[in-house]
Structure 1
Amino acid sequence: MENQPEIVMQMLDYWNQGLAIAKSWALSPAAWSQFGLLVCAFLIALWLSKRLRPLLTKWLTPDAESQSILAKARRFVLQFVPLLLPLLAFALTGLGENITRSLFGSGAVIAFGKRVFLFLAVRILVKEVVKDGFMQLLGRYLLIPLAAIYALGLLGPVMVKLDETIIPLGNLSFSLLFLVRFVVVGGVIFWLGRWSNTQSTTFIKNQSEMRPAMRELALKASEIAIFGVAFLLLMNIMGISLTSLAVLGGAIGVGLGFGLQKIASNFISGVILLLEGQATVGDYVELDGGEAGTIVKMTARAAILETFDGRWIVVPNEDFITTRVVNYSDSGSANRYEAPFSVSYDTDINQVPEIIENAVSKLDFVLDDPDGPDCELRGFGDSGIDFAVEFWVNGIDDGKNKFTPKVLFAVWNALKENGIEIPYPHRVVEFKGQVPRLEE
């Protein structure tokens, strides 16, 4: 065995130590008493959990419709109820450990059982309680293995080994233990930050008295503030001086100056849009390139337009600042549209405006303020005389399919009732010379 690798020799040494501990436990009356206390603690915890869990579940379950702060807090605590059994067993085992150490001067067996109960609590936490995907991944591959190592009593040697393993990174270097702590603490802090951001987002969106643009600006500001505080808190907990990030800040500045200038421009443009309120969620806009739709979401980089046929168009925020944008919904103002039509050349066109204006004014969605329907002569076409009726409505005629068809129906019916013909294209064919005859 002398020629075996060092890691194999260490594993054999741990194995021999474990066998020695197992033999001492099996032959020791103190160990058997500790094992008996361990079983009793588990049975008592099982009995208590069966009695307490229904009561806690009933008390912590709020009404389904309630969205108050207290109801949300109760729902948050309710998801930790599955931890009741292992935590009760852990607490009772800790009490039993104090008793055995005071009576026998040792408590290795019951201490091992206490660590096992803590491992079970961590496993239930990751498997049943945590719903966030990142936190589940962190728990499955980091927290559960650490809890298992702790249950086996090997956490101290493993921590020492991780602390001695140094990873060089240029002028910087850090240990594996620092990396593990950074991942765990950072994951927890940013999970709490994301939870806080979700709660603040819900609260701000419910403030109906705020203008939509101000709500969006408040959402972005709270998100930046929450994650900024989380970052500073993480740096402080891990003992990282912010001055050491000067090189990283300089690299980010160079990146913004070259490859990330568009991203920075879109971010600043988004802040300007939110401050000025020229375009916000719910507005129907038409861009200089012809794209038109309702703004359904504004992000730090772009705005998302939903067209009348359900398509989504991602428009960079910079386009709203540097190009011409038509906002049909700004401040909830009325909008004017027109419906073109033609009449025959045999028509007395002096009667047409009054007939059409009276018919369109009877439609319930057509406004009299700022102006009523206005029928105008537009020109003399190839097949008929061209008119158009202008009308004002509240809302957006998205895709010309909401108000204009109803107006055209009213125009058609009014013309038919007054005997006015709507022309269709005519073509006159002239023959030079003798007209050809058809053979019978």
Structure 2
Amino acid sequence: MFESIWNEYGPMLMDWGQQGRDWLLSPAFWSQLALLVLAWLAALAFMRKAGPQIERLLTPPEAAETIFARTRRFMLLFLPLVLPLLAFGLTAAGEQVTRSLFDSGAIIALGKRVFLFLAVRAFARDMLQDPFLRALGRYVMVPVAALYVVGLIEPVVAWLDAAVVPLGNLSFSVLKALQFIVVAAVMFWFGRWSNDQSAALIQKQQDMRPATRQLAVKSAEIVIFGVAFLLVMNIMGIPLTSLAVLTGALGVGIGFGLQKIASNFISGIILLLEGQATVGDFVQLDGGEAGTIVKMTARAAILETFDGRWIVVPNEDFIITRVVNYSDQGSANRYEAPFSVSYDTDINLVPGIIEKAVGALDFVLTEPEKPDCELRGFGESGIDFACEFWVNGIDDGRHKYTSRVLFAIWNALQAHDIEIPFPQRVVEIKGGLPRAEV
């Protein structure tokens, strides 16, 4: 068996060995290898000498936010690429010399590919900060660069293109599937980044109503991801007519099982158009849940209660149930602080004392009305009053307006020697107390 294998492959291996010995003993090999080593050492020496000065020149002050400072920070990101690219440039400069002397440049070409691989690895490892882009660089760019170094790009591509995956009546190559995954991931990452940038820009437009800003953000999101989807289909050469079956299946799915999702999506658009509830509003649902709307998605609104809990409320609930909206992005709201005074008090003095004390608080508004102290009734233990006051915001547990007003009322009553009563009871024992037996 071994004799037959040797007879078949032995001469070829001996021929390769002879070529390898001739190659190692040739001046062309050692001259090209020496040129690669000298290029790398020269680039390394340059970076050790000039690298700190370049970094210091490109590093702006920490607090600087000018266009020039941001440009310097951006250029600083490319510093890890200088070493391999400089070695590549020095090697390319000496390549013509070795080719003219020895009429050979295979080692030079291999060295240049290695330097490019080092540049790609430095780009993926040191420059990419986004987690998705870093993963793309690590698992796509670096392996492709490694295949390029060893000259296996074309064989691997041909093998992947020949590997066909059957899927019912359809079939596709592994290469097309990998290309679709990479292109779709990149396009939708770019869509997400564009959506974040556009949302930040729209949210800065303070002259727009909050509901209008949210509607603009959602509209931009739909447009951006719709365009990304169409671009992916166009780049991969997939005709949109082939999506007719998928669209029909999606319509059936909506009719049977996805109607709630579709209803919530449409309800969200109605909310944004009508502005009945938007981010920043303090609302109370028909079931008693109350909180501030901190986020509105395509399916639901997220309420944050005063104790920090999040409640996910489907958009449909804002349309078909009763919702109390206490605010509209910082509108004024009225509250009242109840208290009582003793029956020994001259109640004609109480309104002036309380209104002055509450009006002195910095958060109490004078418009639409000043603080108003009203007599509410004559209770069992004291005379009942209530002070109505307006504030700019919601007394939702975080902003304890009523608590601070009650403190002011207490201090004002104490300063004027007005007693706040407490419940008193008179107990009458019929027949008198029992006599003690002697």
Same fold (TM over 0.5): yes
TM-score range, shorter chain: 0.7 to 0.9
Instruction: Find the counterpart in structure 2 of residue 322 from structure 1.
Output: 320
- Select the residue among 382, 385, 389 that pairs with 2:387: 389
Instruction: Give yes or no for the alignment of 1:107 onto 2:105.
Output: yes
Deviation at 1:102, TM superposition (A): 6.1
Distance 1:322 1:152 in 2: 65
CA contact (8 A) 2:280 2:328 kept: no
Task: Return the alpha-carbon distance in structure 2 between the equivalents of residues 79 and 304 of structure 1.
Answer: 38
SS in 2 for 1:399: coil
Question: What residue number does 1:131 align with?
Answer: 129
Evaluate the alpha carbon distance shift between residue 361 and residue 107 of structure 1 in structure 2; reply closer, same or farther with a 3 A threshold: closer
- Who is 1:278 aligned against? 276
Alignment partner, residue 339 of structure 1: 337
Which AA in structure 2 matches 1:39? V
- Which consecutive residues of structure 2, in runs of 5 or more, have no partner in the other structure? none
CA distance in 2, matches of 1:341, 1:15: 103
* Amino acid in structure 2 at the alignment position of 1:182: F
Residue aligning to 1:250:
248
Post-superposition CA distance 1:185-230 (Å, at most 9, x none):
3333334333333433443333344333333333333333333323
- 1:293 matched to 2:261? The reply is no
Q: 1:337 to 1:434 in 2, by over 3 A?
A: same
Number of residue pairs matched by the alignment: 435
Superposed CA deviations along residues 87-110 of structure 1, whole A, max 9, x for unmatched, are: 233344445556655665543222
Alpha-carbon distance, 1:401 to partner: 5.8
Cα deviation, residue 139, structure 1 = 2.9
Q: CA deviation digits over 1:89-142, x for unaligned, max 9? A: 334444555665566554322222222222222222222222222233333333
1:80 is matched with which residue: 78, 81, 103?
78
Residue 305 of structure 1 is matched in structure 2 by: 303
Give 1:83 deviation, angstroms.
1.5
Q: Write the distance in 2 (CA, Å) between the matches of 1:352 and 1:305.
A: 40
Paired residue type of 1:122: V
Q: Deviations over 1:59-80 (max 9, x none)?
A: 6545544546665555344323
Structure 2 CA distance for partners of 1:354 and 1:184, relative to 1, 3 Å: closer
Tell me, yes or no, if structure 1 residue 267 matches structure 2 residue 265.
Answer: yes
What's the CA shift for 1:172?
Answer: 2.0
Aligned to 2:223: 225
2: CA distance, partners of 1:125 / 1:115: 15
Pair 1:42–1:410, CA change in 2 (3 A): closer
Moved more, 77-86 or 412-421: 412-421
Tell me, yes or no, if the aligned pair for 2:281 and 2:329 is still in contact at 8 Å.
no
Structure 2 match to 1:203: 201
Tell me whether 112-121 or 266-275 shows the greater mean CA deviation: 266-275
Summarize the Cα distance change of 1:243–1:105 in structure 2 as closer, same or farther, 3 Å threshold: farther
- Residue ranges of structure 1 left out of the alignment (5+ in a row): 4-8
Give the TM-score taking structure 2 as reference length. Answer: 0.83
Instruction: Write the deviation string for residues 136-171 of structure 1: whole angstroms up to 9, x where unpaired.
Output: 333333332222222112222211111111011222
Counterpart of 2:422 in structure 1 is 424
Measure, in 1, the Cα distance between the counterparts of 2:257 and 2:297.
Answer: 20
Q: Name which of structure 1's ranges 43-52 and 124-133 shifts more when overlaid on structure 2.
A: 43-52
Partner of 2:170: 172
Aligned AA (1:32): W
Q: Find the aligned partners of 1:289 and 1:14 in 2 and give their Cα distance.
A: 84
Compute the TM-score of the two structures, normalised by the length of structure 1.
Answer: 0.83
Give the 3-state SS of the residue equivalent to 1:193 in structure 2.
helix
Partner of 1:6 in structure 2? none
Q: What do the CA deviations read for 1:402-429 (whole angstroms, capped 9, x no partner)?
A: 3223332333344445554322122333
Match of 1:117 in 2: 115
Alpha-carbon offset, residue 58 of structure 1: 5.0
1:380-419 CA distance string (max 9 Å, x none): 4343333222122223223286322333233334444555
Q: Partners of 2:216 and 2:400 in 1: how far apart?
A: 34
Question: What are the within-5 Å matches in structure 2 for residues 33-112 of structure 1?
Answer: 33-47=31-45, 49=47, 53-54=51-52, 57-58=55-56, 60-67=58-65, 72=70, 74-94=72-92, 96-97=94-95, 100=98, 104-112=102-110
Q: From the superposition, tell whether residues 358 and 162 of structure 1 become closer, same or farther in structure 2 (CA, over 3 Å).
A: closer
Question: Quick check: 2:280–2:329 contact (8 Å CA) kept in 1?
Answer: no
The amino acid across from 1:114 in the alignment is K
Quickly say closer, same or farther: Cα 1:321–1:372, change in 2 above 3 A.
Answer: same
Instruction: Determine the structure 1 residue equivalent to 2:397.
Output: 399
Give the whole-Å Cα distance in 2 for the aligned partners of 1:225 and 1:318. 23
> Which piece of structure 1 moves more, 286-295 or 126-135?
286-295
Paired AA for residue 333 in structure 1: S
Instruction: Work out the CA distance in 2 between the residues paired with 1:240 and 1:305.
Output: 42
Cα distance in 2 for residues equivalent to 1:400 and 1:26: 79
**For residues 298 and 82 of structure 1, do their structure 2 counterparts lie closer, same or farther at Cα, with a shift above 3 Å needed?**
same
**Partner letter of residue 187 of structure 2?**
I
Tell me what 2:151 maps to: 153
Report if aligned partners of 2:267, 2:316 keep a CA contact under 8 Å in 1. yes
Q: Please give the alpha-carbon distance, in whole angstroms, between the structure 1 residues aligned to 2:68 and 2:274.
A: 36
User: What is the distance in 2 between the residues matched to 1:18 and 1:71?
Assistant: 57
Contact 1:338 1:388 in 2 (8 A): yes
- Partner Cα separation in structure 2 for residue 63 and residue 211 of structure 1: 37
Contact 2:337 / 2:406 at 8 angstroms: preserved in 1? yes
Tell me the SS of whatever aligns to 2:254: helix
Residues 233-242 or 376-385, more deviating: 376-385
Say if 1:25 and 1:109, in contact at 8 Å, map to a contact too: no
- Give the superposition deviation at 1:323: 3.0
